[in-house]
Every structure is written in C-alpha cells, then in structure tokens.
C-alpha cells in the first residue's frame, strides 16, 4: 500500500502517479488534494506521514511545487524518513542507504518522465542494511545528541 498526497501544485502529478501505480498493480490511498485550487501542503503531508507511520502503508509519495515543504513536514513524524528527490540516483540511494519511506517530489522542478523513473526505482530498491542500519537507527534516537 502506498499513501499519496499533494497540494495544488502537485495535483496533476498526483493524478498521473495514481495511474502509474494502477499499471504497476500497486494499491494506493489518495489523501488529496482533489483539484488545482490553492491548498496547504502540510495538511496532506501530515495525513500521508501518519498513515505510513501507523504501518497502514509501506511507503508514501508526496508532491508539491518543490517537494521541500512536504519533506520537512513529513519528517516531523516519528519513524518517517522522507526524502526530497529530484534524480533517479537520489531515489535509489534514499532507499538503499537511508531506508526512506516517503518520497517527496517537486512538480515544478522535475519533469514527468523523470518522476516516473524515480517512482519505479524508489519502489523497487531494497534497503541495504549493514553499515547503513546503525545510521538509520541514529536518525530516530535522541540519545545521540
């Protein structure tokens, strides 16, 4: 299960992502928005992050103008590792090294064809564990401060 959300700037990409997920036979839940009318990105980032953090979805995909606000907001949730990604290589490394569980995308910065590949790579790349595991554990540990 993938949780998907966008603000007005990401709405059109969100709709394309839903079609892509359907062709990949991947279940998803849409957390809005439902149009290009102005909407506040934190509202959708919080919903997607809560759904992923609860274990109801394995991954989340958030889309806004830059992906920045979405990733900042999602990362406020315990257990979330949202990565703002603009390249295929970054998508691969976000999963392989950081065990990212939410992908944030900037619709105004990343062409659709690249977004399509980013999503495919993000969803197909496995976390490598090993030396990266202890680093990921430190992300959520306040005792390391």
- Sheet with 28-30: strands ordered across: 28-30, 2-6, 59-64, 102-106, 82-84
Is position 97 annotated as part of the catalytic site? yes
Q: Which of 46, 77, 97, 132 is catalytic?
A: 97
64-89, pLDDT tens digit by residue?
A: 999 999 999 999 999 999 999 999 99
Q: How far, in Å, CA of 113 to CA of 99, rounded?
A: 24
User: Minimal CA–CA distance to 83: which of 29, 91, 32?
Assistant: 91
Residues 11-33 pLDDT 10s: 999 999 999 999 999 999 999 99
Q: What is the torsional sign of CA 27, 73, 94, 56?
A: negative
Query: Rounded mean pLDDT of the chain?
Result: 95
| Residue 64 known to be catalytic | yes
Q: Are 29 and 14 in contact (CB under 8 A)?
A: no
Peptide bond into 33 cis (omega under 30): yes
Q: What pLDDT, in 10s, does the model give residues 32-66?
A: 999 999 999 999 999 999 999 999 999 999 999 99
CATH class entry, domain 2-144:
alpha beta
Q: How many CB atoms lie within 10 A of CB 49?
A: 29
Distances (CA, A) of 116 to 42, 75, 134, 140: 24, 23, 31, 30
pLDDT over 90 for what percent of the chain?
88
pLDDT beyond 70 at 143: no
Catalytic option among 64, 77, 132, 140: 64
Q: What is the pLDDT of residue 128?
A: 84
What is residue 142's predicted lDDT score, i.e. its pLDDT? 64
């Amino acid at each position: 299960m993938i949780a998907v959300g966008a603000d007005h700037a990401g709405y059109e990409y969100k709709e394309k992502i839903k079609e892509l997920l359907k062709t990949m036979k991947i279940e998803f839940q849409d957390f809005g928005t439902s149009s290009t009318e102005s909407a506040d990105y934190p509202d959708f980032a919080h919903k997607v992050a809560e759904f992923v953090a609860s274990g109801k979805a394995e991954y989340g995909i958030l889309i806004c103008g830059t992906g920045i606000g979405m990733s900042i907001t999602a990362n406020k949730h315990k257990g979330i590792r949202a990565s703002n990604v603009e390249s295929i290589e970054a998508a691969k490394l976000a999963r392989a090294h950081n065990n990212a569980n939410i992908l944030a995308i900037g619709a105004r910065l990343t062409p659709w064809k690249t977004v399509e590949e980013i999503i495919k790579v993000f969803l197909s790349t496995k976390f490598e564990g090993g030396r990266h595991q202890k680093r990921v554990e430190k992300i959520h540990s306040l005792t390391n401060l």
